Chain A
Amino acid sequence: MLYLISIGIVGVWVNRYVQNVTDYLVGGRNAGLALNTASFIGTELGLVTVMYAAIEAFSRGFAYLMIPLLAVIAAFIVGQTGLVIHRLRSLQLLTVPEFFEQRFGRQVRVTAALLMALAGILNMGLFPKMGATFITFVTGMADSAQAEWMVNIVMTLLIVLVLLYTVMGGMVAVIVTDYVQYVVLSIGLLLALMMTLSAETTGWKAMVEVFATHKGDAAFNPVHPESYGWSYIVWMFVVYLTVNFSWGPTATRALTADSPDTARKTFLLGMPGQFVRLGIPAFLAFGAFAYFSQQPEWHTFFFPEGIGGPSTHAAEAMPLFLGKLLPSGLIGLIAAGLIAAFMSTHDSYFLSWASVIARDVVSPLKRRPLSDKEEINLTRWVIVAIGVFLLVWGLWYQLPDSVWTYMAITGNIYLTGATAALLGGVYWPGASRAGAMAALLGGLVSIIGVVPGVLEGGISWLTIGVLGLGNYGLCMILLIVFSWLFPDKKAA
C-alpha cells in the first residue's frame, strides 16, 4: 500500500517538471541511455507479459524458450542497424504516425493513428482482467467466495491509480515510475526464480525430467510437429522485429532518448531484458508444472487427460504455485513487483494510445493547431476515456484460452500495414501515399482472428503462423503494387 501511494505521489510531484507537450509526451527527449533502457524494460516487463509467458510455457514446455530467444535476436538487429528507429528519432517526432504525415501526407497519418489506436486498445483490452486475476490468485484472495468481486475491485483500484499519475505527470512520470518498477520487479522475480530452482521438487533437474518423461521431444524442440513449427516461429520473429519500430509504446522509447544513438543503444542494452521478461515467468511455470505433476489432487484440474496431454487452467498454475512456494514476506515483494509491472505497462500504453488519438487524429482534423495546453488537456481526457473503456470491457469480457495468440493477432491489425508503410517510407523513395494507405488498410484482414469463435475453432499453430506471415506479405505487396500504379506527383 505504501508503495502504491508513493507511486501516486510521484505522478503528482513530477507534474511540476512538465512545461510543454514535448515534456508531457516524450519527457522532453531527456532520457539518458541507462534510464531509457530501464524504462524500456519496465514497460515491456508487464504483468500481462508475465501471465501469457507463463501460460505458454506451462502448456509448451522448454520449446517456448524459442520466443524469448527470438525477441533477443530482434532487439539485436534493431539495436545494431538502427532499423527505422534511428530515422524516427532523428526527425524529433513525438509519435510514430507523425512520420506518415511528413512522408505521405495527413490522410495517411490519421489512418495509421486510427488503426494503431484500434489495435492497441483491443490488444490492451485483456490486460486489466489478467492482471487482477493474477493478483487475486497469488495473494490467496481467490479462496474466498467473493473471488470474482475481488478481481473486479482490484482491477478498478489499479486502473484508477494508473490514471491518476499518468494523467498528472505524463511521460516524465512514466519514465520515473518505470525505473522504480524495473528495480522492484527485477529483484522480486529473480528471488522467486532462485527459490524455485533451489527447491528439490521444482529445481532444474526436476523440471527437465518431468517434461522429458511426460511430453517427450515436443517439450524441447520448437520445430517438432507437435510444437510450434517453423511458420509460427518465423511469424513470431517478424512480430518481435517489427514491434520494436512500429508499436507505439515500444517505439516511443526511441523517441524519448536524448539522441538517435542512445535510441539505438537502448535496444542493444535491453537485449537481456527481452530474454528475462519472457524467460523468468517461463521458468516459474516450469516449476509449477513440476510441482503440480507431483500432486495427484491437482491432476484433474490441470491435466484432465493425463500429465502428457493438453493442460487446462494454465493461467492459474503459476500464481497458485507461487502462492504455495514463497514465504509471505517474499509474496509481498513479488505482489508489489507485479502490481508495479501491471502499472508500468498500463501507464505507457495509456499515454501512447491517448497521445496518438489526440495528436494524430483529433489535432490534424482541427482547422487551427492546438496549443500545448489544449493538447495536454485533450490527451488527459483521452487517457481517462480509455481507462473507462477498459473498466467496462474488463468487467464483462471473459479471458480466452489462447491469450498470446489473441494479442499477436490484434497487434497484427496495425503492425502488418505500418511495417510495410514505415519500411517503404524510410528506405524506398518510390513508396507513394496510395501505396502506404493500401498497406495500412491491408492490415485489417487480421481482424478476422478477433471474431469470437475463430481462435477456439481448433485452428492449428501452422495455420496461425501462415496467416500471420501472409498478412505481412499482403501489406508489402499492396505497398509495392499501389505505389507503382498510383505514384505521388513528386515521385513521378
Chain B
Amino acid sequence: MEEWIQFWTVISMLGFLSYVVTFVIITPLGLRDIFAMFHRLNDPILDESAKRTKDPGED
C-alpha cells in the first residue's frame, strides 16, 4: 500500500504542476489565437469591401 501511496503522490504532483504551467502558457497565446481567427474569418469581407469601394479607374 505504501508504494501505491507514493506513486499517486508523485503522479498527482506532476499532473497538477504540468497543468499550471500549461495554463500559464496557453491563456495569453489562446487570446492571441482568437484575434488571429477573427482576422482570418474577416478577410473575405475586407476583400469584398475593398473591391466595392475601389475606384474603377484606380488600377
B15 interface neighbour in A17, A68, A190, Cβ under 8 Å:
A68
How distant is the Cα of A217 from the Cα of B45 in the complex, in angstroms? 63
B41 with A72: CB separation less than 8 A: no
B22 with A65: CB separation less than 8 A: no
A217 with B1: CB separation less than 8 A: yes
Max chain A C-beta neighbours (<10 A), residue from B4, B11, B15 = B15
Query: Taking the complex as formed, is B37 at the interface, i.e. its CB lies under 8 A from any CB of chain A?
Result: yes
Secondary structure dominating the interface of A: helix
Interface size class of A (residues with CB under 8 A): 35 or more
Q: Return chain A residues, CB-CB under 8 Å to B38.
A: 17
A30 with B26: CB separation less than 8 A: no
Q: 1/0 per position for A17-42, CB-CB distance to B under 8 A?
A: 11100010001101111111110000
A179 with B15: CB separation less than 8 A: no
Query: Taking the complex as formed, is A221 at the interface, i.e. its CB lies under 8 A from any CB of chain B?
Result: yes
Report the stretch among A133-141, A234-242, A273-281 that lies at the interface.
A273-281
Q: 1/0 per position for B11-45, CB-CB distance to A under 8 A?
A: 11001101111110111011111101110111011
A216 with B34: CB separation less than 8 A: no
How distant is the Cα of A69 from the Cα of B10 in the complex, in angstroms? 12
Q: Return chain A residues, CB-CB under 8 Å to B30.
A: 34-35, 37-38, 179, 182
B3 to chain A, nearest CB (A): 9
How distant is the Cα of A212 from the Cα of B9 in the complex, in angstroms? 14
How distant is the Cα of A402 from the Cα of B10 in the complex, in angstroms? 29
Query: Taking the complex as formed, is A175 at the interface, i.e. its CB lies under 8 A from any CB of chain B?
Result: yes
Q: 1/0 per position for A316-331, CB-CB distance to B under 8 A?
A: 0000000000000000
B33 to chain A, nearest CB (A): 3
Query: Taking the complex as formed, is A272 at the interface, i.e. its CB lies under 8 A from any CB of chain B?
Result: yes
Q: Return chain B residues, CB-CB under 8 Å to A19.
A: 41, 44-45
Max chain A C-beta neighbours (<10 A), residue from B4, B5, B36, B44 = B4
Q: Return chain B residues, CB-CB under 8 Å to A190.
A: 20
B16 with A30: CB separation less than 8 A: no
How distant is the Cα of A221 from the Cα of B5 in the complex, in angstroms? 9
Q: Return chain A residues, CB-CB under 8 Å to B11.
A: 65, 69
Q: Return chain B residues, CB-CB under 8 Å to A32.
A: 29, 32-33, 36-37
Max chain B C-beta neighbours (<10 A), residue from A18, A36, A62 = A62
B1 with A179: CB separation less than 8 A: no
Q: Return chain A residues, CB-CB under 8 Å to B16.
A: 193, 275-276, 279
Q: Return chain A residues, CB-CB under 8 Å to B33.
A: 31-36
A28 interface neighbour in B4, B21, B37, B45, Cβ under 8 Å:
B37
Q: Return chain A residues, CB-CB under 8 Å to B22.
A: 37, 269, 272-273
Given contacts A65-B12, A176-B34, A220-B1, A38 and B27 within 8 Å (CB-CB): yes
Knowing that A31-B37, A273-B19 are A-B contacts, what are 15 other residue pairs whose CB atoms are under 8 Å apart, sorted by A's residue number? Answer: A19-B44, A28-B37, A32-B36, A33-B33, A34-B25, A35-B29, A36-B33, A38-B30, A72-B15, A182-B26, A193-B16, A212-B1, A221-B1, A269-B26, A279-B16
Q: Which residues of A contact B (CB under 8 A)?
A: 17-19, 23, 27-28, 30-38, 62, 65, 68-69, 72, 172, 175-176, 179, 182-183, 186, 190, 193, 204, 208, 212, 216-217, 220-221, 269, 271-273, 275-276, 279, 283
Task: List 6 tightest A-B contacts by C-beta distance, closest first.
Answer: A35-B33, A34-B29, A32-B33, A275-B15, A220-B4, A272-B19
Sample of 29 A–B contacts (CB below 8 Å): A18-B41, A23-B41, A27-B37, A27-B41, A28-B40, A28-B41, A30-B40, A32-B32, A32-B36, A32-B37, A33-B29, A34-B29, A34-B33, A36-B33, A37-B26, A37-B30, A62-B8, A65-B11, A65-B12, A68-B15, A190-B20, A212-B5, A220-B4, A220-B5, A221-B4, A269-B22, A269-B26, A272-B18, A275-B15
